[in-house]
Structure 1
Amino acid sequence: MEDDIWDGAFYDDGEWVSWSDVEEQFRYQEWRAKYPNAIRTLIPYFEDLLSLAESYHLETGRHLNVYGDIGELFGAITYGIKLNKNYAQGADGRLGNDHVEIKTITPFKSKDQVAVKVSGNFNKLLVVKINADFEVSSRMVDRSKLRKTAKPFLRIRWEDLHVAK
């Protein structure tokens, strides 16, 4: 057993480091390279929650009610959005002086679209998409780029967002 401990660690810069520590740092560096404003401390929660949702679905064929939280964590990590308290009125978070509404397209939706409340208090909309393979991507758009409607909700298709970046 003691040999396993020594095989899984090495001495670097005055301290013992495990390979899992190295792998975690590489993972953080990948996030940081792709998303310069990444909030590293939230990455483990995001990854664990996404992994839980995927494994639960594979095991049961059902979905947990966590995709909105996954979308919000993804926005916080990748864009540096400061999330509001749960159930706070208005938007889901702030990015500088902008209020950001975060909507998530879940892996079980039949259409890749979201509905946004027109009366909402937001300047930017972040749409996070979790596909059937549990891969996550996002697109952000300024509210001014969204089409106008007299209806209480605006339906926005994923494919229409890339034009209005």
Structure 2
Amino acid sequence: MYKKILLIMLCFLAAMACSSPSNPDNTNNGDIVNGGGSGNGGGSGNTGDGGSTGDGGNTDIPWTEIAPPLPVLDEEAIKYGIDISQEDSVIKEQIRTKIQQYNKDKGGYKVIFIGTPKSEYTQQSSLAKLVIDIAEELYKYKKYKYRNRY
């Protein structure tokens, strides 16, 4: 009997804890998405996310539908850009050739990504991992090439 009463009390407390607001002094009147009310005194834009995300505070737009701020049109991006919407093996080969081409032309290393990113990347196929793998391969090749030169 005591176990049933204790179980009912614990369920009641858990339900109350889950239903209470995490910020009790919040005065936004339920307007969380658009950064709070715009003229109700205490909640004028400082509640919710406040629009600090750069998209006007509207957080229900998927990231795949947000356009980039400026399109990349300069000649460097067109010549050395790596299209990241392709398969990983193609991206890896493009990284290798474009890095070598940029180094040959400009005397440095630069990676420029263009295109629409894939919806998912794993840890083994992330862009950072692909670039690091190619950089290690090129460094080993360069080190071996210059070591055998002398």
TM-score after normalising by structure 1: 0.28
TM-score after normalising by structure 2: 0.30
Question: Which is greater in Rg?
Answer: 2
Q: Which has the larger strand fraction?
A: 1
The structure whose RCO (Cα within 8 Å, separation 6+) is larger is 1
Q: Which has the larger helix fraction?
A: 2
